[in-house]
Amino acid sequence: MGKSLISTVFISLVAVLIIAGTFFYSDYLSNRIAQKESRQMQEWVTAQQMIAKADSTDDLSLQMVIIAEQKSIPVIEADERDSIMNYMNLDSQLAVKNPVYLQDQLTRFKNDNHLIITYLDADGLKYNKYYYGESTLLKQIRYFPILQLIVVILFISILFVAIQYRHKTEKELLWTGLAKETAHQLGTPISALIGWTAMLRETDQKEMVLNEMDKDINRLELITERFSLIGSKPRKTPTDISILVGRTIDYIRKRAATKIDLQLGKQPEQPVVIDVAAPLIEWVIENLLKNALDAMEEGTGQIRVDLFSNTNQLIIDITDNGKGISMADQEHIFRPGFSTKKRGWGLGLTLSKRIIEENHGGQLIIKSSEPGKGTTFRIVLIK
């Protein structure tokens, strides 16, 4: 078994173990939240009963707080014949437009066996039923591992396609690096999500945590889209390149050291809209900006992105004042597997060149570089 095959199998096993661990942890966490929501509903129903039976002298401040805080769990109140009397935390507009919406929700809650009964008389002949479902937060946690599984299936599929072409050295290096890049790309949002899920046990700020989880899920969706476009003919759409570059700079700036000055410099006066595969072009800009950051040996420096437009071309120059690239290394910089970084696997520039030149008919070159002074990479896109 060759080294590349061994590394591919190893990375696949690591990815599977990560997903398996996340599945088990997500299941554990969702069960804990489900138990908490069940207790919350019991308290809410009890508070409703106490308010209904109270007289004017009773202190109901605690009960009012319990009722007011129940804003996330969908509930349907029905009588003993399952006739719907009231509901909350469901789509009221859809309930008006769709006559069967509430009945469908009631059926779903019944199937989930989420029911609390309160008796209204001593004989037990009259009673109310409270059917309830799962909060949005709980659904997000339950469905998140499925999204991870899709990403990993895609990741493993890419690996095995790479094995089929391992007799070609360049493709072997390219796909092995792609597998490592996939694992690397998955690591950041997965680590963040594990942190957010742990935080749920310690905070009541569910909305804030949910918003942050949505950002990481969106990042995973973007990673899935990018890798799905590799090796296929990407669909191109009209894209304002200045906006795309600005968005990418903002993303990298938030993750760069505070002493790095990352700026968008010259831009065309008018918007330049070109048919491109936007996720891939954004990936190229990210790779070049990350390379520029890595070139800052002391964690300080400047990175500038300039855009120039002429009749037939859009030019993007990415310039840093980092350590530069020697003439000897410039000859190999785009070769699969070549890297000047200790932890690099030599894939970013290879993929970037392939995306620009093979997928978009453009050009990616080193415009200039001098050791100790910095480097300028140039992207040329055809209008």
Among 62-66, 106-110, 128-132, whose mean pLDDT is lowest? Answer: 62-66
8-state DSSP, 323: S
Q: Which residues of 133-149 are buried (b: 16+ CB within 10 A; e: fewer)?
A: bbbebbebbbebbeebe
Q: How many residues does the chain have?
A: 383
pLDDT value of residue 274: 94
Model pLDDT for residues 339-371, shown as the tens digit of each residue: 766 555 456 788 889 889 988 999 999 999 999
In the predicted model, is pLDDT for residue 222 greater than 90? no
Q: What is the pTM of this model?
A: 0.47
Distances (CA, A) of 14 to 91, 124, 183, 237: 42, 57, 9, 36
All domains in the chain, ordered by first residue = 29-136 (no CATH), 237-382 (3.30.565.10)
Two tokens, residue 86: 């009231």
User: Whole-angstrom Cα distance, residue 153 to residue 12?
Assistant: 10
Mean pLDDT of 208-220: 69
User: Whole-angstrom Cα distance, residue 196 to residue 268?
Assistant: 41
At 1, is the pLDDT very low, low, confident or very high (cuts 50, 70, 90)? very low
Q: Which residues contact 294 (CB under 8 A, 6 or more apart)?
A: 322, 341, 344
Q: Which residues contact 264 (CB under 8 A, 6 or more apart)?
A: 245, 246, 249, 304, 305
Amino acid sitting at position 179: A
In the predicted model, is pLDDT for residue 202 greater than 90? no
Q: For residue 226, count other CB atoms closer than 10 A to its CB.
A: 21
pLDDT value of residue 341: 66
In the predicted model, is pLDDT for residue 239 greater than 90? yes
Distances (CA, A) of 56 to 52, 66, 214: 11, 19, 45
